Chain A
Amino acid sequence: MSYLTSIGSYAIMIKEVFKKPVKWRIMKSLILKEIDELMYGSLGIVIFISFFIGAVVTIQTAINLTNPIIPKNLIGFTARQSIILEFSPTFVSIIMAGKVGSYITSSIGTMRVTEQIDALEVMGVNALNYLVFPKIVAMLFYPFVIAISMFVGIVGGWIAGVFGGFLTNAEFSEGLQIDFKPFQVVYAFIKTLVFAWILATVPSFHGFYMKGGALEVGKASTTSFVWTSVLIVVMNYLLTQLLLN
């Protein structure tokens, strides 16, 4: 029952977010601030993690493909597939649920417990539009972040593979091009957009409707992280089933 209530309130929240917008001049600066905070501010960690995971995926594949019949370029192929299809869209999104998600929940939650949201509403500002809409718009840039992650991951794989002596430059780049299906990239970016939506709205929901004090803000961030990750994993499964089958 309480799950149903939550789904209902979530739907109502989304409807409210798009109602009665605040002045564009103000909204514009809010959006720019969120892009800076949520997207630009996450680039560092995304690049760092992507590089090393790309490297490790490549080394692991290389170590496990010991049979001499299997061509070496398969290492490049596997690295490409795992990074583009799963690692960058899904794994990075779960990291973002920790970084961006808990930031969103705690910043909105703090505004809730210190009555800043009430203050907005008393003034006649649509608090949901003011707080959540700019985050949704900022998250539209998330595919760029994931594209960067894919690129850096593959560079990481290339460096680890070629400089680690597992395969040659030519084998790796050949592997990257084998059996390339453009729709798989489309699939990866459809996933990314869905995850972007989850990353912007689910943590906002947990922050906006929280009750209590500072301690509860911390708890709400944790709950929000769990739910955001669970939803990402479940949607990942559903979308894969739906789009690639």
Chain B
Amino acid sequence: MSERALHTVEYRTVGAVSGPLLFLEGVSGAHFDETVDVVAPDGEIRRGQVLEVDRNRAVIEVFAGTRGLDVASTSVRLGGGSAALGVGPGMLGRMFDGSGEPVDGGPPPFPEALRDVSGLPLNPAARDHPSEFIETGVSAIDGLNTLVRGQKLPIFSGFGLPGAELAARIAADARVTAAETERFVVVFAALGITHREAAFFRRSMEDSGSLQRTVMFLNLADDPTIERLLTPRLALTAAEYLAFERGMHVLVILTDMTNYCEALREVSTAREEIPGRRGYPGYMYTDLATIYERAGRIRDRNGSITQLIILSMPDDDITHPIPDLTGYITEGQIVLSRELHLKGIDPPIDVLPSLSRLMSSGIGAGRTRGDHRRVADQLYALYATGRDLRRLVSIIGESALSEDDRRFLSFAEEFERRFVHQPGQARPIAATLDLAWELFGPFSDGELKRIDPDTIARYRGAAAV
């Protein structure tokens, strides 16, 4: 991170230190939202931001934490302007900490320009609606929850579930056509994840040969928690530069947003704000939106920002405020299931609660295939019926099932084991759709209610050849 202006005024009037906050008294000229330098008693300089100004008082959030700060000798330099990041092509292949300082031993890359990290809202009239299919090779995604370029899509994972593996797999496979590889880059933001997880991502980027086309911002589990509020904004500022000024297709990976939300809650609690659901602040929706909405495409520009967000559902609870508010903002979600994971399904994607809202603009003849929409609808209908029956069987036993019911029940099994389960190898979209037709085998044309007779006539049986 770089500074926009020189810090000019210095105050030694800290009134209180509480949690991540510092209360400065007797101030004049503190600007709301500006960055400040907090000088610790030992001379160490920590970055902070003004959260509120009230007459002669300023409330400051200290990104690196307040440990070791005191009232007597800590001082604060105001006048840092809004938080900014120096951006330039030299960022590619580099690794930074959660506040934007290089941590790979190299010098800071030469900044071509300084950008305000909070970003500005994109004018909806200037956006271009995303519609370009991204083939991930994962059938449960490509077939049923198709991703498009410029989409923001979270993976709802859980502790011990392979959310990171799935994200890495998508990042590695989603580079689409060879001609476009040059323009594909990854911006990776680690938010409070472990060294092990960060190393995993690094390795997988290395394996897929994209490390040189990756920018990493790392705030790890043992890094200051409040800094996490800044890290995704740095990553997105870099992404906006690469996408909209350099014409690149940027895949932004944010992991794990649950840690981000917890940092947000910590600050809110320290400010003694009225808590919303489960102690998270009432403005969390808006705050998350200022991150997630920084995805998409702009008319008459070449680049795009696609966001892949990983979050852990506390207690596997999808109604928890973190997945809930995320789902209300993002363009769908991929939900991982512990039950499927235990069953050995890999990736353990539960397609029922999963959704891609931009799917319909990315599929169909000319994009994927003419039967895509109907095949997807039909898979859903059959699988949902099968799952209902599975529940019924657990209550009243299998003997109560009719012959018909049994076909649906075994469809659900087959679907999970053959369609969703897909360790290793990627499947092209045509193979995914053909596999679906194969799974429809036991059902008569009339039972495939979601597919029109023309489509059935055209595709049924064709796959078997």
Q: Do A and B come from one complex?
A: no
Where the two chains meet, the residues of B that have a C-beta atom closer than 8 Å to any C-beta of A are none
